[in-house]
Amino acid sequence: VRGAQAKEARGAFAGIVAEEYFSVITGFIRKHDPNHLILGVRFAGSAPDGVAEACGKYCDVVSFNYYCKNMDVNKQLFDNLYFLSRKPIMITEFSYRAMENRSGDRNTKGADVTVNTQEDRKTGFEKYVAQVMEFPYLVGYHWFMYFDQSPQGRSFDGENSNYGIVDIYDKEYEVLTAGMKKMNAAADR
């Protein structure tokens, strides 16, 4: 089996596996901890239809990492995930990194969402958040990450990016945080 048939078969199989996985794992969690939400598995970019359906069947929220290089959020992707899962969505990871940074990060490893300046990072945050705030099923978003990575890279994969709200010296990127404060203040509206 090749081509479209093979892709369809892989998707169906993934749905069967996900059904078993989510039923077992969430059953165990609910048995021992019935008073907390289950936030899914943090899909990275997308999930096969059957997997998204199974996640929605057993989890309270579908969590999703979504990086957007061009600052134009793919609403259809989110709408489809919500349609399949019928559960609220939480963006559990997104970010922009700038070549201009105080940590000396070269941004050669990691999600390729590179911009030139800290002002561009602020613009990216504001555009991204303004778009996702329009999604009625969105319950939250999380910027990756609090601090810049080491210029030498993370020990396990070498990621060396200016994703931080603060640099490696714990000094705030004020331009970025000003945009965050502005947009986050509007979130409840």
Per-residue pLDDT at 188: 77
Q: How many helices (H) and strands (E) does the chain have?
A: 5, 6
Q: What is the pLDDT of residue 1?
A: 65
Q: What is the pLDDT of residues 88-138, one digit of tens each?
A: 999 999 999 999 999 999 999 999 999 999 999 999 999 999 999 999 999
Cα–Cα separations (whole angstroms), residue 48 to 10, 27, 52, 72, 157: 9, 22, 6, 22, 26
Q: What is the DSSP string of 49-64?
A: HHHHHHHHHH-SSEEE
* pLDDT on residue 45: 87
Q: For position 189, what pLDDT does the model report?
A: 77
Tokens linked to 60: 């309270």
Residue type, 152: Q
Q: How many residues does the chain have?
A: 189
Q: Which portions of the chain are predicted below pLDDT 70?
A: 1
